[in-house]
Structure 1
Amino acid sequence: MKLVVVSAGLGVPSSTRLLGDRLAAASAARTPADVQVIEVRDLAVEIAHTFTNGFPGRALFEAFDTVAGADGLIAVTPVFSASYSGLFKSFFDALSGTDEDALAGKPVLIAATGGSARHSLVLDHALRPLFSHLKAVVVPTGVYAASEDWGAEGLDGRIERAAGELAALTAGAATARPRPRRDSFEEVTPFEERLAALRPAG
C-alpha cells in the first residue's frame, strides 16, 4: 500500500511535518505501507509558475503523480488566519487544475497545527469542505495539534483513532483498480501548444 503525506510546514524542524510523520507511522502500523512525504515548501516556486504558464515543472509533476498514485493521503497544514495556509491551498489548486480527478475517491486524513486550540475548527470549516470539493473521501476524525497538545495524552488518542480510520479505508482503496497514470514528465503538453491546437487552421 502507498501512503503519501503532504506537509505544508514552513519551518525546519516543523511541527506540521512532525504531525504528518506521527499520523503516517500510526497508519502504517495497522496496514503495512510505503510512506512518501511531499514538503510543499520545496515546490513553492514551481507552484507559482504553474499558475502563470499553465503546466507543472518536473518536481511538481512528480509530486502530483505521487499523490494521484497513492492509496491514501495525509494532508497537514499550519493554520494561518484561521484557515489553511496559502501555499497548502495553492498546491491542491494546481493539482486539481492539472488533473481534476486526482483525488476522486481517495481516502484523505486531514490535520492541522496551530498555536492555540481556538483554531481547531479549521478542520471542519476549511479542510473538510476543500477535500470534499475535490471528491476525496475524508476520514471522520481530523487531527488538530495546538502547541500545548504535544506530549499530551489526548493528541495520541486522536492520532490513533484517525490512523485506524485511514488504514481501514486505504486497505479497500489498495485493492481497487489503479487509476491510469502518465508515465513521464515529457507527456505534459505546454499550455502554448494546447492553445495553438485550438486555433483554426489557416
Structure 2
Amino acid sequence: MKLVVVSAGLSVPSSTRLLADRLAAAVDGRTPVDIQVVELRDLAVEIAHNFTNGFAGRSLAAALDAVTEADGLIVVTPVFSASYSGLFKSFFDVLEKDALAGKPVLIAATGGSARHSLVLDHALRPLFAYLRAVVVPTGVYAASEDWGAEGLPERIERAAGELGALMRGLSTVSPAKQPTVVPFAEQLAALSPSASQRRPAQSSPSGV
C-alpha cells in the first residue's frame, strides 16, 4: 500500500515535517507501507503558475498524481491566522475535485500555542469533508510545548492506528464485494423490538 505525506512546513528544519515523519513512521510500524513525502515548499512556484496558466509543472503534476493514487494520506500544515496555510490550501485547490473521494486522510497541524488546536475541527476537517475524503477520528495538533511532553506520542499512535485500519480495510474491498446499501427506513425498522419479533433479524451490511 502507498502512503503519501503532504507537508506544508516552510522552514528547514520544520516542526511540521517532523510531525509528518513521526506520523508516517507510526503508520508504517503498524501497517507496512511505501511512504512518499510531498514538500509543498518546493512546489510553491509551480502551484502559483498553475493558478495563472492552468498547467501543472512537472514536479507539481507528479505530486498531484501521487496524492490521487495513494491508498492513504497524512496532511500536515502549520497554523497561520488560526487556519491552515495559504500554500496548503492552494495545493488542494489545484487537485482534481474527485481525487480524494473515499480516500483515508489523517489531518495534523503544528503551531506555537495550544490555543490553535481547534484548527483541526474548524478548518481542516471541514475542508477534507468537502473533498469527500474519509477523515480519521483522531487529528493530531502539536504546539511548541508538546514536543517531548506526555500526550503527543499517544495521539500519534492512536491516529496512526486509525489510518492504518482504514487503509487495510479499504484495500480488501473488491469491486464484486462492495458494501450493501440498506434504505434508512429499513434500518429504523430493524431497530424496533416489535420488528425483530415479527421477522428474522437482517444481517449487517458488509464493508468498512
Q: Report if TM-score (shorter chain) is over 0.5.
A: yes
Equivalence for 2:122: 125
159, 163, 166: which one pairs with 2:160?
163
Equivalence for 1:154: 151
Return the alpha-carbon distance in structure 2 between the equivalents of residues 100 and 122 of structure 1.
Answer: 23
1:58 aligns with 2:58: yes
Q: CA deviation at 1:124?
A: 0.1
1:67 counterpart SS class: helix
- The total of aligned residue pairs comes to 175
111, 116, 129: which one pairs with 2:113?
116
What do residues 155-199 of structure 1 show as CA deviations (whole Å, max 9, x unaligned)?
001001000000000112333569xxxxxxxxxxxxxxxxxxxxx
Equivalence for 1:6: 6
Return the alpha-carbon distance in structure 2 between the equivalents of residues 41 and 176 of structure 1.
Answer: 35
Return the alpha-carbon distance in structure 2 between the equivalents of residues 5 and 109 of structure 1.
Answer: 9
1:103 counterpart SS class: coil
Equivalence for 1:38: 38
Q: CA deviation at 1:37?
A: 0.3
Q: CA deviation at 1:152?
A: 1.1
Letter in 1 for 2:126: P
Equivalence for 1:25: 25
Letter in 2 for 1:8: A
More displaced stretch, 54-63 vs 73-82: 54-63
Letter in 1 for 2:79: V
Percent sequence identity is 81
Return the alpha-carbon distance in structure 2 between the equivalents of residues 73 and 56 of structure 1.
Answer: 21
Larger relative contact order (C-alpha < 8 A, sep ≥ 6)? 1
Cα RMSD between the aligned structures? Answer: 1.1
Q: Which has the larger radius of gyration?
A: 2
Letter in 1 for 2:85: S
Equivalence for 1:181: none
Letter in 2 for 1:94: V
Return the alpha-carbon distance in structure 2 between the equivalents of residues 177 and 112 of structure 1.
Answer: 33
2:41 counterpart SS class: helix
2:160 counterpart SS class: helix
Letter in 1 for 2:20: G
